[in-house]
Structure 1
Amino acid sequence: MSEEQENQLEKEMNVTGHLSELRNRLIVTAIFFVGFFIVGFIYVKEIYGFFVNDLDFTLNVTSPGDIIWIYFTMAGLVALIVTIPILCLQIWLFIKPGLTPNEQKASLAYIPAIFILFLIGLAFGYFLFVELILPFLLSLNDGMFNELFTVDKYFKFMLHVTLPFAILFEIPIIAMFLTSLGVITPDYMRKVRKYAYFVLVIIGTIVTPPDFILQTIVAIPLILLYEISIYCSKAVYRKKLKKHQEFMEKDTIE
């Protein structure tokens, strides 16, 4: 076997090894997801009670399938939330060998931040839904219609509002990560600020009713979130420049 063939075989073995490791880590994540799903399934009544405790109306079901749907939805939501840090940890362990010790420490700090921001986004979206959006929509009825709320439509609408906020609240972490990779810079984020604002306002319009006040209330936190992302990106960028400068000075001395 020639040297070129040996190198090719070694590359193929490395790729196979990486794919095998990635598969194993995904399997570990899936096992945790199933375990948390089972726990959520067991405590569905308590979880469901938390969401409907303060409602002024009763949710109805129109078929036995709706009951199964709410069980799987509540259990799946719990499993998704709790599995996020597990998934992030498995991804970090997968890329860890290719990182320097400093990069390992810095990237590991992203895991709890991702989880916390996801929870804050969910809580913020749920607060908007319960305190602003739902009361506004109910006020439009004004006695004109007989209200009948089904479980599946109510929770689908609630998730439609809350989940986007959970994802959008990850913007600071995404900005920091992309800055560390050199994909974006704080100057670039400032340059595209007006386009980012426009996109965030559109997202706020999609997840809220057609009311200017509500859309403004939703858009302002999203815009502030983008400004926080610029600040986070700037902090990471400064550290990169400092390390690069120290490296250049050390190289010059040598």
Structure 2
Amino acid sequence: MTTRPEGDQDMPLVAHLTELRTRLLRCVLAVLLIFIALIPFAQEIYTLVSAPLRAYLPEGATMIATGVASPFLTPFKLTAWVALFLSVPVILHQAWGFIAPGLYRQEKRIALPLLASSIALFYIGMSFVYFLVFPLMFHFFASVTPEGVAMMTDINEYLDFVLTLFFAFGVAFEIPVATFLIVWIGLVDVEALKRSRPYVIVGCFVVGMILTPPDVFSQTLLAVPMWLLFEVGILFGAMVRRDAGETGDGTALAGRGHDDQPPRA
């Protein structure tokens, strides 16, 4: 007997596409509304984001704008990105609303905490880089500035630099969720992940080299937390697999047969 997800209903392809379009429009609208609300504070937002660098500029030095329109456009560019980052809960909520009808009850019980954890970890990653990594990094850069060189950073280059790190750390802090998922659905077992630890450590430094600016300092500050978060993911994955084995319940994804797929259409 084929098991259907709770609340699952047959829907034509056109209905799926219509729902997808509606949810995408809601995401765009959320970003737009937050952006419009933040526009009056664009200058203050840039001042806040640039504070970690300005705190370590030499006495009398300031940030500069080499582009004619940079003083006007750069804060607006930052505000748009801030609006996108603040809209992440809405975007993930819309994604959840689209896929939830095709999930089994056991999957929903796991998916909701994972969704909340993903949002929290993304913001924790951004907070980590702002409050810990930036002060250490900019203090180091300021201390190694050659004599006779004025440290005066362009505001647009600084924005590109910090946005890269915000995104890199935000995504990197999702590693526990990704590790948990691959263990939960049975793609890889915990012991295999433990055996692959040396390769994961090397991979973390490679990813750090790709995602961060070309300096060993920032690469290490990204790679080490990635490795530690991988260990956290293994820990929680092992706990879930052990609980599933003790209860004999398992998860719907790991134990599905070919006839138990939950198509929405």
Provide TM-score, normalisation by structure 2.
0.78
Find the residue that maps to 2:167 and give its secondary structure.
helix
1:70-97 per-position Cα deviation (integer Å, ceiling 9, x unaligned): 2332212221221111111111111111
What is the distance in 1 between the residues matched to 2:245 and 2:150? 63
Equivalent residue number for residue 150 of structure 2: 146
Q: Which moved more, 1:194-203 or 1:100-109?
A: 100-109
Aligned AA (1:182) = G
Q: 1:186 aligns with which of 174, 186, 190?
A: 190
- C-alpha distance 214-166 of structure 1, shift in aligned 2 (>3 A): closer
- C-alpha distance 17-143 of structure 1, shift in aligned 2 (>3 A): same
1:203-227 per-position Cα deviation (integer Å, ceiling 9, x unaligned): 334526544x765554332221110
**Structure 2 gap segments, 5+ residues each:** 1-9, 252-265
Is 1:135 the counterpart of 2:133? The answer is no
Q: 1:109 aligns with which of 103, 106, 113?
A: 113
Q: Which has the higher helix share?
A: 1
Equivalent residue number for residue 167 of structure 2: 163
Whether contact under 8 Å (2:63, 2:153) holds in the other structure is yes
What is the distance in 2 between the residues matched to 1:243 and 1:98? 25
1:99 shift after superposition: 1.7
Find the residue that maps to 2:193 and give its secondary structure.
helix
Task: Please report the RMSD computed on the Cα atoms of aligned residues, expressed in angstroms.
Answer: 2.6
1:231 shift after superposition: 0.9
What is the distance in 2 between the residues matched to 1:140 and 1:246? 55
Alignment of 1:189-208 (within 5 A): 189-206=193-210, 207=212
1:158-189 per-position Cα deviation (integer Å, ceiling 9, x unaligned): 22233211110001112223333333332232
1:16 shift after superposition: 2.1
Runs of 4+, deviation exceeding 6 Å: none
What is the distance in 2 between the residues matched to 1:81 and 1:33? 9
What is the distance in 1 between the residues matched to 2:16 and 2:66? 49
- C-alpha distance 236-15 of structure 1, shift in aligned 2 (>3 A): farther
Whether contact under 8 Å (2:45, 2:75) holds in the other structure is no
Find the residue that maps to 1:178 and give its secondary structure.
helix
Whether contact under 8 Å (1:61, 1:150) holds in the other structure is yes
Equivalent residue number for residue 122 of structure 1: 126
Whether contact under 8 Å (1:38, 1:75) holds in the other structure is no
Provide TM-score, normalisation by structure 1.
0.81
Aligned AA (2:105) = P
- C-alpha distance 20-62 of structure 1, shift in aligned 2 (>3 A): same
- C-alpha distance 217-186 of structure 1, shift in aligned 2 (>3 A): same
Larger Rg: 1
What is the distance in 2 between the residues matched to 1:215 and 1:78? 24
Q: Which moved more, 1:98-107 or 1:202-211?
A: 202-211
Aligned length: 235
What is the distance in 1 between the residues matched to 2:221 and 2:150? 29
What is the distance in 2 between the residues matched to 1:178 and 1:246? 14
Find the residue that maps to 1:46 and give its secondary structure.
helix
Percent of residue pairs identical? 27
Aligned AA (2:175) = I
Whether contact under 8 Å (1:186, 1:234) holds in the other structure is yes
Aligned AA (1:17) = A
What is the distance in 1 between the residues matched to 2:92 and 2:247? 26
Alignment of 1:1-254 (within 5 A): 14-53=12-51, 55=54, 56=57, 57-206=61-210, 207=212, 210-211=215-216, 216-242=220-246, 244-245=248-249
